[in-house]
Amino acid sequence: MSGKTLYDKIWDAHLVAEQDGEAILYIDLHLIHEVTTPQAFAGLRADKRRVRRPDRTLAVADHNIPTEGQALGVGAVADEEARLQLQTLERNVADYGIAFFPMGDIRNGIVHVVGPEQGRTQPGMTIVCGDSHTSTHGAFGALAHGIGTSEVEHVLATQTLRAKKAKNMRVTINGTPAPGVGAKDFALAVIGEIGTAGGTGYVIEYAGEAVRALSMEGRMTLCNLTIEGGARAGLVAPDQTTFAYLMGRAAAPKAGAWDMALSYWKTLITDEDARFDREVVLDAADIAPLVTWGTSPEDVVAVTGVAPSPDQASTPDKKAAVERALDYMGLTAGQPVTEARVDVVFIGSCTNSRIEDLRSAAAIIEGRKVADHVRAMVVPGSGLVKAQAEEEGLDAIFIAAGFDWREPGCSMCLGMNPDRLAPGERCASTSNRNFEGRQGRGGRTHLMSPAMAAAAAVAGHIVDVRTFLPTGTPG
């Protein structure tokens, strides 16, 4: 009998019972937000059910909040529907005794930034949230994935989820990346390799020296984008980097409990003789700074590359998809991607709005100016990230360069709040989805790293960030 993968171990440790061939899996942490919960609470009320573990539930307001004037409170939110949704969340958390960081609280921000930042996210946990980018928390060696609203209601009522076990995939990234290449490029390279549905039915464990060398924030970026390759969850086994990040955080275990937790966390590794259903191996040294050219996250190309030709597609359906994407994006086959002139630069989202992301963008921006025709904005991932950046003077660098320095939230990643693209506008974005209309109807999104987006803001078009780096700069 072969050994267990990290996923197997976490799964087994949370198995409460099996019913009709389905597992009932215990959930350690349930993160909730305003958009995917109102119907779940309404269902609880209708059936007179309680919230089983309000103490294992944490609420934030992030998806539809404005990124200015947050101190004025929810009552001042101009969008009537958004305001009602935010007020509904406030009422629900009060009625059921759930911890909540309201809009304007320094601890509030994007749910996948807040959980780790508070030390709520810990190795070995099961974590769910009504948001597909819950995969982010896998960076800590936690089994974390998105669920729908009916499942949110199920978790509220039972603190469990009915689930079927997924298959195991391992993505190993060996070697050392070149300067200017980082976690975002790794993630896009993986999606480019396996395709947007390549991970469907799998949980992916990331391994290899290039993954080990990533900071926790880099690992979060990598795991965050796992869902864009179709896998619900990504995992990185916890190590010293993980433990050092967690130590001393508000909700992390303290004193004796820390030692006890640590000895458990150290067991959370894949056994050497464990078998994976699929293995993918990449070399970090082969990865260039990447951008997306099309309307699916798998439409990846090196910044030195060109938009593809429909004629190279392997099937008529794929040919039609390439034609449609080129048309939507306003690009022509064979056009160098660096010719794409950008109108907007967005630095933010649960993928890339943490302090290291802002530092890497600021390093490119410092002493430079945003191109005249570009509207550029930075939306920090949380109030605490914003405060940290301000303490380091990053806000001053961004503002001096011509960036708009905003308040935290999901913002233009999905455009539920007023931050949106106008039809035809082209955006260099550090977010996670380049779908048609994602950032605003008719908007054209190119996904890339914070450093690449910063460079695009200065150049006014997509550009190779490596031309901005002083010689000898580490990635």
Closer to another protein by CB, 106 or 260: give it: 260
Stretch that binds another protein, among 139-147, 181-189, 366-374, 461-469 (CB under 8 A): 139-147
Q: How far is the CB of 224 from another protein (least distance, A)?
A: 13
Question: Would you count residue 277 as binding another protein (CB under 8 A)?
Answer: no
Closer to another protein by CB, 70 or 295: give it: 295
Closer to another protein by CB, 56 or 375: give it: 56
Q: How many C-beta atoms surround the C-beta of residue 14 within 10 A?
A: 20
Q: How far is the CB of 156 from another protein (least distance, A)?
A: 9
Q: What is the 3-state secondary structure (H, E, C) of the chain?
A: CCCCCHHHHHHHHCEEEEECCEEEEECCEEEECCCCCHHHHHHHHHCCCCCCCHHHEEEECCCCCCCCCHHHCHHHCCCHHHHHHHHHHHHHHHHHCCEEECCCCCCCECHHHHHHHCCCCCCCCEEEECCHHHHHHHHHCCEEEECCHHHHHHHHHHCEEEECCCEEEEEEEECCCCCCCCHHHHHHHHHHHHCCCCCCCEEEEEECHHHHCCCHHHHHHHHHHHHHHCCCEEEECCCHHHHHHHCCCCCCCCHHHHHHHHHHHCCCCCCCCCCCCEEEEEEHHHCCCEEECCCCCCCEEECCCECCCHHHCCCHHHHHHHHHHHHHHCCCCCCEHHHCECCEEEECCCCCCCHHHHHHHHHHHCCCCCCCCCEEEECCCEHHHHHHHHHCCHHHHHHHHCCEECCCCCHHHCCCCCCCCCCCCEEEECCCCCCCCCCCCCCEEEECCHHHHHHHHHHCECCCHHHHCCCCCCC
Site for another protein in 429-448 (CB under 8 A): 433, 435-438, 441-442
Q: How far, CA to CA in Å, does 21 sit from each of 152, 164, 165, 203?
A: 21, 8, 11, 20
Question: Would you count residue 132 as binding another protein (CB under 8 A)?
Answer: yes
Please select the residue that binds another protein; options are 114, 143, 214, 416, rule is CB under 8 A: 416
Count CA within 13 A, CB hemisphere, residue 188.
31
Q: How far is the CB of 193 from another protein (least distance, A)?
A: 16
Closer to another protein by CB, 109 or 229: give it: 229
Question: Would you count residue 160 as binding another protein (CB under 8 A)?
Answer: yes
Q: How far, CA to CA in Å, does 445 sit from each of 237, 339, 448, 453?
A: 32, 15, 10, 11
Site for another protein in 279-298 (CB under 8 A): 296
Closer to another protein by CB, 300 or 370: give it: 300
Stretch that binds another protein, among 156-164, 176-184, 273-281, 342-350 (CB under 8 A): 156-164
Question: Would you count residue 312 as binding another protein (CB under 8 A)?
Answer: no
Please select the residue that binds another protein; options are 8, 68, 84, 249, rule is CB under 8 A: 84
Please select the residue that binds another protein; options are 172, 174, 200, 215, rule is CB under 8 A: 200
Site for another protein in 24-83 (CB under 8 A): 24, 26, 28, 35-36, 38-39, 42, 47, 49, 52, 55-56, 63-64, 79, 81-82
Q: How far is the CB of 30 from another protein (least distance, A)?
A: 12
Question: Would you count residue 150 as binding another protein (CB under 8 A)?
Answer: yes
Site for another protein in 210-249 (CB under 8 A): 230-232
Closer to another protein by CB, 154 or 426: give it: 154
Please select the residue that binds another protein; options are 260, 281, 285, 399, rule is CB under 8 A: 260
Q: How far is the CB of 36 from another protein (least distance, A)?
A: 7
User: How far is it, in rounded angstroms, from Cα 114 to Cα 60?
Assistant: 8
Site for another protein in 317-356 (CB under 8 A): 317-318, 320-321, 324
Question: Would you count residue 205 as binding another protein (CB under 8 A)?
Answer: no
Q: How far is the CB of 222 from another protein (least distance, A)?
A: 18
User: How far is it, in rounded angstroms, from Cα 1 to Cα 3?
Assistant: 7
Q: How far is the CB of 337 from another protein (least distance, A)?
A: 20
Q: What are phi and psi of 295, to 5 degrees?
A: -120, 15
Q: How far is the CB of 130 from another protein (least distance, A)?
A: 6
Please select the residue that binds another protein; options are 127, 147, 210, 347, rule is CB under 8 A: 147
Please select the residue that binds another protein; options are 111, 261, 326, 384, rule is CB under 8 A: 261
Size of the site for another protein (CB under 8 A): 80
Nearest partner of 133 among 229, 59, 58, 223, judged by Cα: 223
Please select the residue that binds another protein; options are 415, 443, 450, 475, rule is CB under 8 A: 415
Site for another protein in 353-392 (CB under 8 A): none
Q: How far, CA to CA in Å, does 243 sit from each of 165, 216, 238, 250?
A: 28, 10, 7, 14
Question: Would you count residue 148 as binding another protein (CB under 8 A)?
Answer: yes
Q: How far is the CB of 355 from another protein (least distance, A)?
A: 24
Please select the residue that binds another protein; options are 22, 209, 279, 391, rule is CB under 8 A: 22
Stretch that binds another protein, among 123-131, 333-341, 361-369, 371-379 (CB under 8 A): 123-131
